[in-house]
Amino acid sequence: MAQQLDMANRDPNEINGHIKVAFEDVLAEPDGVHSIDCIWKCAFTCFECGKGLCYKLMTLLCGICIALGWGCNFAMVAFDHVWCWTPCIRDFSICIGCWQKVYGTVVMCCCGPVCEACGMVFSKIKIQKS
């Protein structure tokens, strides 16, 4: 099934919401200490251009290779779970289920009557306050 790529919203699940880096999130001048307006505007332009250019350059040089690597990694994880871990866990659950029945039967046959007898003995104890 082909999945459509949303080019406008590239983080629909907010996976990287914690790394939103706008100029206002990084640089801020409180009241009383303001630089010259043209300096502040120039700093904003330099920050945005530098961030955009550097990010685009790094994704151009590394993005495809890193995406391929992560794709292969998650393919191996899926393969391990489908072909190794899930069948192994299912096998273990089936085998341990038999031992659970044996253990339960032994406990109920051996320990059950003893515990029931002790319960009957201790149920006859009466405490009176004088």
What average pLDDT does this structure show over 34-55?
Answer: 95
What pLDDT is stored for residue 87 in this prediction?
96
d(CA 53, CA 45): 12
Bigger pLDDT: 7 or 50?
50
Query: Using one digit for the tens of pLDDT, what is the confidence trace for 25-41?
Result: 889 999 999 999 999 99
Calpha distance 89→95 (Å, rounded): 10
Kindly report the average pLDDT of the chain as a whole number: 92
pLDDT at 20: 82
Residue pair 61/41 in contact (Cβ under 8 Å)? The answer is no
* pLDDT at 53 (0 to 100): 97
Q: Give the pLDDT confidence score for residue 65 in this predicted structure.
A: 97
Determine the 3-state secondary structure of 124 from DSSP.
coil
Q: How far is CA 11 from the centre of its chain?
A: 17
Q: Which residue would you say has higher pLDDT here, 65 or 12? A: 65
